[in-house]
Amino acid sequence: MAIINGKIFNGIGFYEGKALIIDGNKILNIINTEELSIKYPNINTFNADNSYITPGFIDLQLNGCGGVLFNKSITKETLEMMHETNLKYGCTSFTPTLITTPDVNIIKALDLIDSLENKEEIGVLGLHIEGPFISLEKKGVHNPNFIRKIDENILNRICQTGSEGVKIITIAPENIDGEYISKLSNSGIKVALGHTNATYEEIVDKKIYGITLATHLFNGMSSFSHRAPGAIGATMNLDFCAGVIADGFHSHYGAIEMAHKLMRDRLYLVTDAAAPAGTDIKEFDFEGIKVYHENGKLFAADGTLGGSALTMIQGVQNLVKHCNLPFEEAVRMATIYPAKAISIENKYGKLQPGYFADINIIDTNLNLKKVISKGKFI
């Protein structure tokens, strides 16, 4: 299949007059359109009708969507429903995110991910384990009954699966020994600070053991002041990569714009979405905490935010409309920046020969028109 008559994103800008060739689940070639009939005389074509052609979006924090929640049902069927829902909104790859929960559920998720063959075909990159090794003071909607310090048994089990199955683990640096951080990092897992009340100095001390990411910048973090920069200041100043939720509820759009000016390619878009995303569900149970959905906002009875109902295409649109970012940069924040953050930029996040054929076709009004997942037109 050849996609023609579109504006292909090359990571820097958009260029026209090219045909993007798909073979199986990979991008085979990008050639001048006039060469198509000579090099591929019998190929079928898809007319992009002058729309933008971008890589598929990558979401590194997704608790659930489409009416399902990974914590509630740790099954392949849940992952398949999440993927099916994601594709409606341009997200072709994701890290199913398990929030604070007992060890038995962490092990169940690890066993599931270990058992999956060709998990990439259902969009799964690997797990994001967000807690339970976090701070009670910055727990957010996480159930405090399950928050605890890590021990060697669960540490070893997580490292046994390693980076093939676990892409990210979110921890509070002040509550974990440096040697444990090193063990996680040395197994290939990206260690993220998050739900943390650590001081700036505590984060400096623990960063050297292998922390490279930060989970949902501004949320669940010790706050910033000029005398105590906290986790927010550390994230922006110490070269961490960080996800940010651009839904208008978790962070002021001006704060996101400011963070982007400081962080540039270290800042990537996440949804932190839960079961209501892509549905009209009004309430759900989030690991023992009842969460309500009203006008796009998810919140517990005490007002604490409980994930989001954001989709990736909405996030991209919000970055352009409310954060004054060029469309090209919003696309990078949803594609190559998250890919680089978890070291998969050799297969994901770009439209290049040899990369997975995960592709979005987006019109000039930034509406999603067509999604291609591993070469399959959805």
Q: Say if residue 294 is in the same domain as residue 215.
A: yes
In a domain, 30, yes or no: yes
Residue 343, sorted as left (phi over 0), alpha (psi -120 to 50) or beta, turns out to be left
76 and 43 housed in the same domain:
no
Do 283 and 175 share a structural domain?
A: yes
Q: Quick one: tokens of 130?
A: 């967000």
- Give the helix/strand (H/E) hosting 336: helix 336-341
265 shares its domain with 337: yes
Same domain, 263 and 372: no
Distance in angstroms (rounded) separating the CA atoms of residues 311 and 85: 10
Contacts of 306 (CB under 8 A, 6+ apart): 140, 141, 274, 286, 289, 291, 298, 299, 300
Could you confirm whether 111 is annotated as catalytic?
no
The residue annotated as part of the active site, out of 49, 103, 247, 272, is 272
Q: In terms of domains, do 187 and 112 share one?
A: yes
**Within a domain: 346:** no
284: in domain: yes
The pLDDT value recorded for residue 39 is: 95
Residue 217 scores a pLDDT above 90: yes
Regarding whether 361 and 219 lie in a shared domain, the answer is: no
Average pLDDT (300-322) is: 97
In a domain, 157, yes or no: yes
- Judge whether residue 12 has pLDDT over 90: no
In a shared domain, residues 192 and 248: yes
Instruction: Identify whether the C-beta of residue 135 lies closer than 8 Å to the C-beta of residue 195.
Output: yes
Handedness of CA 337, 125, 169, 320 (dihedral sign): positive
Q: Are residues 73 and 42 in the same domain?
A: no
State what percent of residues in the chain have pLDDT above 70: 100
Nearest CA to 223 out of 202, 244, 196 is that of 196
Say how many domains are in the chain: 2
Q: Which domain holds residue 331?
A: 57-341
CATH assignment at residue 218: 3.20.20.140
Q: In the chain, what percentage of residues exceed pLDDT 90?
A: 98
| pTM, to two decimals | 0.98
131/245 same-domain check: yes
Domain membership flag for residue 93: yes
If asked whether residues 359 and 219 sit together in one domain, one would say no
CATH code of 362's domain: 2.30.40.10
Q: Is residue 233 part of a domain?
A: yes
Q: Are residues 202 and 267 in the same domain?
A: yes
In a domain, 134, yes or no: yes
* pLDDT the model gives residue 287: 87
Tell me if 348 is assigned to some domain: no
pLDDT at 229: 98
